[in-house]
C-alpha cells in the first residue's frame, strides 16, 4: 500500500478543491424540493462546477459513470445515477460531489430532505452524521484506522443500525481514489497508523435495517437488500501535525 503524503503546496490545492465541492452542496440545497428530478439536480450542479467554478466534475465518465454527481434516494446506499425520478415529499437523498481543480480532488456528500422529513429518515441520517463526526474527531497522527472504524461501528450498532462493509472511505488527492482504504468498522489497535500529510475521506454508509447490499444491473447503483433506508455523510480530511483539518466544510463551518 502506497500512501501519498501531501506537502504544503499540495495541501493548499486540496483546500481549494475541498472548498469548491462544499460550495456545490451549499448551492444545490435550495433546489431540493418536491417535483424536481435527480436529472435536473445533476444539470444544475454540472453547470455550476463547469461554468461558475471553472472546474471538472470528477464522476462524469469516471470508469463509465454517466453523470456529474451521485444522487442516492431513500434505500439507495451509494452511487445512484441521476435520472428521470421526480422527488416527492418525504424522500431523502444523499448528494455526492467531487470536484477537480488544478489536478486535485475534493470529495464530500450530505443528506437532504425533500419537503417534510419522515421520522425514520431523520433517525438514520442523524446516526450516520454522528458516526462520521466521531470518526473525524479521532483523526490525528499515530491513531490507527482500525480505531476509527471500531468507534464508528460501535456508535452505529448501539443505535440498532448497521454499517455497510462493501464500500468505504479512501485516500484522495491527484487521484479520485488512493490508498488507504478507510473502513467504517474494525478492531482497535489494527490498521494503518495515520501520518501528517495524509488526506482521505470518512463516509460511513448506515442502513436502518441489515447491512447487506446489492448492486443493480446498471453496474453502479447500490441498494439495501432489505429495502431499508440508508444514509451517508462524507468529508475529506487532512491529517495535520497535531490533529486534523476538515477540507470540505460548507459556509456554515459546521461538520
Architecture of domain 8-246: Alpha-Beta Complex (3.90)
pLDDT of residue 30: 98
> Going residue by residue through the chain (255 aa), what tens digit of pLDDT does each one get?
689 999 999 999 999 999 999 999 999 999 999 999 999 999 999 999 999 999 999 999 999 999 999 999 999 999 999 999 999 999 999 999 999 999 999 999 999 999 999 999 999 999 999 999 999 999 999 999 999 999 999 999 999 999 999 999 999 999 999 999 999 999 999 999 999 999 999 999 999 999 999 999 999 999 999 999 999 999 999 999 999 999 999 999 999
User: Which residues touch 126 (CB under 8 Å, ≥6 apart)?
Assistant: none
**Domain residue ranges in the chain:** 8-246
State whether the Cα torsion 128-129-130-132 is positive or negative. positive
Under a CB-based contact definition with an 8 Å cutoff, are residues 3 and 231 in contact? no
Under a CB-based contact definition with an 8 Å cutoff, are residues 180 and 171 in contact? yes
pLDDT of residue 2: 86
Rg of the chain's alpha carbons, rounded to an integer? 17
State whether the Cα torsion 157-231-201-64 is positive or negative. positive
Instruction: Quote the cell numbers at residue 159.
Output: 443505535
**Sequential DSSP letters for 87-153:** P-TT-EEEEEEEEEETTEEEEEEEEEE-SSPPHHHHHHHHHHHHHHHHHHHH--TT-BHHHHHHHHH
pLDDT of residue 108: 98
> Which phi and psi (to 5°) does residue 239 adopt?
-85, 120
Q: How far apart are CA 202 and CA 231, in angstroms?
A: 13
Amino acid at each position: 500500500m502506497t500512501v501519498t503524503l501531501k506537502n504544503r503546496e499540495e495541501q493548499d490545492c486540496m483546500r481549494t478543491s475541498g472548498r469548491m465541492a462544499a460550495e456545490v452542496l451549499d448551492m444545490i440545497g435550495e433546489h431540493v424540493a418536491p417535483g424536481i428530478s435527480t436529472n435536473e439536480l445533476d444539470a444544475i450542479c454540472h453547470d455550476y462546477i463547469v461554468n461558475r467554478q471553472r472546474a471538472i466534475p470528477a464522476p462524469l465518465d469516471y470508469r463509465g459513470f454517466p453523470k456529474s454527481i451521485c444522487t442516492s434516494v431513500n434505500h439507495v446506499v451509494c452511487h445512484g445515477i441521476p435520472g428521470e425520478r421526480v422527488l416527492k415529499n418525504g424522500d431523502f437523498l444523499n448528494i455526492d460531489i467531487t470536484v477537480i481543480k488544478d489536478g486535485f480532488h475534493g470529495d464530500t456528500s450530505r443528506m437532504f430532505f425533500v419537503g417534510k422529513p419522515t421520522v425514520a429518515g431523520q433517525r438514520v441520517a442523524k446516526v450516520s452524521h454522528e458516526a462520521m463526526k466521531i470518526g473525524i474527531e479521532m483523526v490525528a497522527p499515530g491513531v490507527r484506522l482500525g480505531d476509527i472504524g471500531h468507534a464508528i461501528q460501535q456508535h452505529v450498532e448501539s443505535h440498532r443500525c448497521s454499517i455497510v462493509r462493501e464500500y468505504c472511505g479512501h485516500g484522495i488527492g491527484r487521484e479520485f481514489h488512493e490508498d488507504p482504504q478507510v473502513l467504517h468498522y474494525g478492531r482497535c489497535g489494527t490498521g494503518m497508523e495515520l501520518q501528517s500529510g495524509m488526506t482521505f475521506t470518512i463516509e460511513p454508509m448506515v442502513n436502518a435495517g441489515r447491512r447487506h447490499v446489492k448492486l443493480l444491473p446498471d453496474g453502479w447503483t447500490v441498494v439495501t437488500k432489505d429495502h431499508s433506508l440508508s444514509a451517508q455523510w462524507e468529508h475529506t480530511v487532512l491529517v495535520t501535525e497535531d490533529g486534523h483539518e476538515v477540507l470540505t466544510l460548507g459556509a456554515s463551518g459546521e461538520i
